[in-house]
Every structure is written in C-alpha cells, then in structure tokens.
Amino acid sequence: MIRDALAALRARRGRTVLAALGVLAASLVVGTSVTVGYSLATGFQRSAEQAQLPDVIARFPERRLSEIDARVSALPNLATRSYRFERLNQELAADGHFTRKGAVTTVFEGRRGYKVVDGRDVRDGSTGDVVIERGLAREWDLHVGDELSVQRRGLLRVSGIAVSPDNVAYPLASAARVYIAEAEHRRSPPPNVALLWLADPDKADVTLAQARAVTFGLGKLQFITRTGVEILLSQAAGIVISLLVAFSLVALVAAGTMLAASAHADVQRRLTGLGVQRALGFGPGRIAAQQAVEAVLLAVPAAVVGIALGALVVAGPSAQLIAALNELGPGVALLGPLALSAAAVVAIVVAAATWPAWRAARRPPVEILRGGDLARTPQRAARLPHGLLALGVRFATAARARWLAAVATIAVCAGVVTLMLALASLLERLREDPGTVGKRYQLAVQLAPERIPEARRLDGVADVGERYSIDAADSFRLGEPIRLVAYPGDHTRFENPPLAEGRRIRGPDEVEVGVGMADALGLRPGSTLAAQVPDGGEIRFRVAGVVRALENDGRIAWIRPDKLLETRPDLSPQVVVRLDSNADPAQVTRALVGLGAQLQPVGAAQTDNAAFLAVLAAVLRGVGLAVGLVCLYALIQALTVTARERRGAVALLRATGADAPTISLVLAGAAIAVAVPAAIAGVALELLVFGPAVSRLAASFASLPLGASNGQIALVFAGLLALSALATVLVARRVMREPIIAGLREE
C-alpha cells in the first residue's frame, strides 16, 4: 500500500507539491504560535522553579539577624529561610554606562532565590565578586570577567549573570539589580529582606497570619507571595503577554481550520479518480486506507519542516521577550509541544483527507464519475454579468466545495491578520491611553491641598479630585494582594470601569470590586470584603458592585476614603486632573507647575520601554509573516487548480487570439471570486469570534476593545486584493508558457 501511495503521489507531482506547500504554510503558523504561546505562558512558573523563587518575600526595617531569625524560625509551615540586605538608589558604572538606580543586594548564607545562567555565584566569605542580573548584562554588554563599579564597594569583577523572576529585567524595571557577598562589608549588615520557602505553599495564609503576629513591633512590614509577584509583573507587561498567548491560541485554531479545508479540497478535486478506482473493484475501506497513507506520506515531512521553520522564525524575538521579563526560555522542553503539534497537524490532514474519501467511495461509481465536485446547475441559476472577469468568477465557483474551502482558508487568514492589526492598535492604546484601564483623567500631580481650588479654575480643566491608593491584602487570604483606590464623592468622575454586576457605591461602608478580585476571593454583591492595610489594621466593606477593571489584573477595589484615613491618617493623596475635550494638555501642565505642582505619571496598562516594544513588534511580525504566506499560498493554489481544471477553456481562448492581459483578466476574476467573500468573512470572524475570544482568554476580568477599525478593515481588503494581483500574475505567466495544443487536447 505504501508503494502504491508513493506511486500515486509521484503521478500527480504538481498537485502533490502544491498540497505539501499548503501543509508547510499552515504548519509555519503552528510553529510560530506554539513557540510564542508556550514560551510565554509557562515562563514565570518555569523560571520560579529553576530559580527557587521563595514562596514569601518579607521586607522590614533593618534589624539584627539574631532578632529577626528568632521570630522567623518560629513560623509554622516553614521549610527554610534566608536573608538579604538590600540598598536602593545606588550608583553603578561600567564601560561608559551609568545609573543611580542600582539595587545592591547583600546575600547571606542559604538559598539565593535567583539562578545563575552564566559564570558562578558569589562565594560566602570571599570578596571582589558581584553577580549581576541578565537585563543589566544585556543592556550594558557586560560579560563574566568584566568590572563593575558599585557605590561604597568600588570595582568588582562580574563572576556571574543571574535571572530572578521576582521582577522584570532592567531597563524594563528602573532598578538594576546586583548581588554581593556578606564578606564585602566590614561588619555583617542587618538584614531587611527575608526569603521564606514553605513546606506547603497552599497554606501560606496560615504562615502569613502568624508572621504578622510574631513580627509586631518591627515597624513597616510588607509581605509578597508568588501570586503577588505575578500580579506585580503584570503591571509591567502582563496584559501584553496574555494578549500574545491568546493570539497564539487563536492562530493555532486558525491553522487547523486551514489544514482541514485544504485537505478536504484536495480530495474533492480527486473524486473522479476515486470513481475510477471504485469501478475497478476497490472497496471503500481500501480507498480510504490508501488516501490515509498518501496523506501521512505527504503531511509528515511538510509538517516537520513547517513547524521547525516557524519555531526558528520567532525563536530570536521570543527569547528576547522572555529575557526582558526576567524569565528563562523553555529550551529542549519546547520540543515536546512542537512534536505534539506536528502529530496534530498530521492527524488533521489525514482525517480531513480520509473522511471525505471514505464518504465518496461509498457512493455508486457512476455517481462519483458524473462530475466530481462540480456544482449541479440549479434550476434558477444566478445571473452573472458577461465579460472576462465574470468568466473567471464562473470558473472559480463551478467546483463549489473547492471554492468554499479556498474561501474558508483565506477568510481565517484574513481574520487573523485583522486581529493582528486590532491587537497592535490596542497595544498602542495600552501604552499611551489611561482610558484603556478606565481612567478618565489625563494628568496626575502632587499639589498642596490649599491650591486645589485654584487648579479647578484653570482654563481647560474639567474637574480636579484627590485619589488615594494603597496595596493591601485580603484578611481571610493574606496571600492574595489587592489594591484599594479611594475618592471623596463619586469616583466615576475620574475612574469609570464598566459595571458587570450590582451597582455603584453610595457610602463609606461600600466597595466596588474588580472581576479579578471577585473571582479570586469569591465575592459578589452583598459579600463582605475585609482588607488588611499595611501598618493600619483591618477595614471592612460590603460589596455593592463588581466592575470590569484591567488595572492590577482586576484585583482592585474602589471605596470612599473615610475608613482608610481612619486607619492610615498619614496617607497623602494624588491630585488627578480631568481635562476638557478641546484642552491643550501642555498648556494646562504649565499652569499646574506654576501653582507648585509636581507631575506624576498617569499609569496605563503596559510599559513604554522602546526596546521592549520593539521586541513585541518583532514577535508580531514573525507570526504575521507566516499568516501572510498562508494567504498567498491559498490564493495561488485556488488559481492554479482553476487554471489546471479549465486548461481546455483557457487554451481555446488563447487559440482565438487571447493575449496575456486577457488571460490575466479571467484569472483575476477567479481570484476576486475567492478574495472578496473571504475578506468579508474574515472581518466578520475577527469582530464576532477572534476578537472576543482573545479578549476573554487574555483578560476575562476586563473589557478589551479588540474590534477592528474602518481603516484596518480597508487595509485588509487592500492587502488581499494586492495578494490576488500577485497570485494572478504568477499563475498567468505559468499558463502562458504552456503550449496551446496541450490544453486543446482536453477539450
């Protein structure tokens, strides 16, 4: 059977190559999607395990090691611990580079909480060495053996380069982290950071509750768990990564659809040949098995090559993106998902090729031989205009099943491309527009309270308010970090996230919580939220409503400031300014500075770091290139098959004097018959399926505007028409090179 399958594939070499290219093109999308999606989706957990990231990180004022260790060692559920002395805003310099944002961390004996990826760690008891984070090494082009000037320590030799996934890498994070040994100090410094590894991480709440009790009197104490670290990382790039992972999943499903449609169309083209086999006595089972073997022989090499090429296309940008997030790449672990993807591609091709062949083979041979997949002429056929373009449309739509398969393939491609354009637009808005996280104000400043009335009277200012914000924890689940935001009066004047359930707050005892917080803590309207405020005790609120908020992964709540200020009277507000629609922000900013205001950044939903954004663009370009190649292939395939099956008609046109432009017009009509409905269907797919799906996958706790704009839709139509023109030119050249007599023999 294998010998027969190989002979059949060789006999129709042109179609075999065309089908293999289709599998390769779709596999290219699969390879890029799996590489990006798997690398990013598993990056934090993989890095946390390899770096032995602690389950809890505690920060406190400097204390003697013996005093701190006596309290920490008494905690329940504690497996082991280690300590650090962290000094911020230190000067670092090397090879012409300089920063005053260095975070110099002295590590004590015990686990480090980071992974050395190049060189070696600092040695306890030795001096002169420093371990630097990978982001600093990449940005400053430092290597093991280079020298780094550290404030108070002088020149130190770089002994190792490390990854610590408790924060994003420099310069995405403003602080550049370096690690030195305790021996660098003349006297052992008092620790101000404790790293705790728990015997049972699921019982972190018990440990944290006891920790707050035994550490009473230490002053300002802050805890952060692994969950909290993930949320902090999301403030830098989490939503972007979620969007890329969700996009990769959608592209993966799209590639599967393309494969199924392409394989099904290939079988439809061969129905006449299947009828001949049935007439010669071959049973349906034998024909289906033969088709399955042919599909395997064709799909395996094409899938392996396509997935490998796809992985290579985005390997570099994906690695840079992971490095910017201070995470570790999957390495050889990626081979498993890629191998499963190759197997899935082969399975889809085999199923899509075997099932229609088996169904067709069960029909009587005469019925199969009566015209293959050509559409039967309906009693009331649609009246098409006359002309060369209309002739091309008839050529393309005569084989109805193949035409639908081509339209479906290109529609999915167009939908993915439209989604990419909408995603790029959203990323830009997430970077620049605070409105994407529900903020209606444009400026934030530090301003003396007595000057606020003057600020309200400035030209271009619509409203001015005081905004209090503090990171807290749920009292019942101390490992769950939350953010409280308070405004005197109606907060919707400045922040107006859409209401998902319940109503707005009306008094100081009520709270609106984000969907992310509601899901994590099991809250709903009428529930009680108990928040543990740092250095302030506990405050409780009744949940009035649940809102869709993007900030802080949706783990955010809006309250009135009364209870918060009773607990933390030292909390000072940020002054936020909402501008008139026609106001000049620069002019208003100058006026505020004239009142003594100090400008503060208004947080959007992602970083504006140029290097990070460039890496994101490279990743999207890699996936976009793969999808574009699939679009071009599908159009060329549709035109090539149309020209092949209409060789006689095309040859007859040429024999009667048709030149290259005339034949091109016919083929252009065939291309338009596929491209235009595919573009319409693709835009509909993005608006109705792909966009909402990515929004839910990336951030189920918020509303993400992923609908394409009119300009983006026009760009997709123009792009498909351009690809149609290119495919028409390529196929027309091939048709014109064929001898006329060869085509006339088929008439």
Same domain assignment for residues 423 and 454:
no
Q: How far apart are CA 122 and CA 182, in angstroms?
A: 10
**Residue 349 pLDDT greater than 50, yes or no:** yes
Q: How far apart are CA 464 and CA 497, in angstroms?
A: 18
Same domain assignment for residues 706 and 593:
no
410-419 as b/e: b if 16+ CB within 10 A:
bbbbbbbbbb
Query: In one letter, which amino acid is 701?
Result: F
- Considering the chain, what percentage of its residues have pLDDT values greater than 70? 80
pLDDT tens-digit readout, 436-450: 666 888 889 999 989
**Residue 573 pLDDT greater than 70, yes or no:** yes
**What's the chain's Rg over C-alpha atoms?**
32
Please count the residues of the chain. 747
Same domain assignment for residues 11 and 114:
no
For 126, residues 6+ apart whose C-beta sits below 8 A from its C-beta are: 181, 183
Same domain assignment for residues 286 and 327:
yes
Residue 226 lies in a domain: no
State mean pLDDT over 216-234: 66
Q: Which residues pair with 104 in a beta bridge?
A: 87, 178
Cβ atoms of 539 and 533 within 8 Å: the answer is: yes
State mean pLDDT over 301-318: 89
Which of 344-348, 396-400, 544-548, 635-639 shows the lowest per-residue confidence on average (mean pLDDT)?
Answer: 635-639
pLDDT tens-digit readout, 36-58: 888 888 888 899 999 999 998 88
Same domain assignment for residues 733 and 633:
yes
Domain boundary pick from 579, 600, 621: 600
Element (H, E) at 242: helix 239-269
Q: Distances in Å between the alpha carbon of 541 and those of 475, 513, 623?
A: 12, 10, 46
Which of 550-564, 581-595, 685-699 shows the lowest per-residue confidence on average (mean pLDDT)?
Answer: 685-699
Cβ atoms of 668 and 389 within 8 Å: the answer is: yes
State mean pLDDT over 48-76: 89
What integer best gives the mean pLDDT of the chain? 82
Of 57 and 378, more confident: 57
State mean pLDDT over 681-691: 87
What pLDDT sits at residue 259? 61
Same domain assignment for residues 79 and 186:
yes
Cβ atoms of 212 and 534 within 8 Å: the answer is: no
Domain range for residue 450? 438-600
Same domain assignment for residues 535 and 582:
yes
Same domain assignment for residues 215 and 345:
no
Residue 333 lies in a domain: yes
What pLDDT sits at residue 508? 94
Same domain assignment for residues 632 and 736:
yes
**Residue 522 pLDDT greater than 60, yes or no:** yes
Residue 379 lies in a domain: no
Parallel, antiparallel or unpaired: strands 461-474 and 115-119? unpaired
Q: How far apart are CA 679 and CA 408, in angstroms?
A: 10
pLDDT tens-digit readout, 609-649: 556 666 666 666 666 676 777 767 766 766 776 676 677 77
pLDDT tens-digit readout, 525-539: 999 999 888 876 789
Domain boundary pick from 198, 220, 242: 220
Residue 703: band (very low, low, confident or very high) from pLDDT cuts 50, 70, 90: low
Residue 130 structure tokens: 């420093």
CA-wise closest residue to 469 among 322, 600, 324: 600
Residue 55 lies in a domain: no
pLDDT tens-digit readout, 120-171: 999 988 899 999 999 999 999 999 999 999 998 999 999 999 999 888 888 8
State mean pLDDT over 31-38: 84
pTM over 0.75: no
Residue 52 lies in a domain: no
Same domain assignment for residues 292 and 416:
yes
Same domain assignment for residues 411 and 557:
no
- Whose tokens are 């099956």? That residue is 645
Residue 528 lies in a domain: yes
State mean pLDDT over 89-100: 93
State mean pLDDT over 400-415: 79
**Residue 101 pLDDT greater than 80, yes or no:** yes
State mean pLDDT over 442-466: 91
Same domain assignment for residues 356 and 417:
yes
Residue 523 lies in a domain: yes
User: How many domains does the chain contain in total?
Assistant: 3
What pLDDT sits at residue 381? 46
**Residue 102 pLDDT greater than 50, yes or no:** yes
Cβ atoms of 417 and 423 within 8 Å: the answer is: no
Domain boundary pick from 566, 600, 634: 600
State mean pLDDT over 203-223: 70
For 334, residues 6+ apart whose C-beta sits below 8 A from its C-beta are: 34, 35, 38, 39, 311
Residue 228 lies in a domain: no
**DSSP of 281-328:** T--HHHHHHHHHHHHHHHHHHHHHHHHHHHHHHHHHHHHHHHHHTT--
Q: How far apart are CA 34 and CA 22, in angstroms?
A: 18
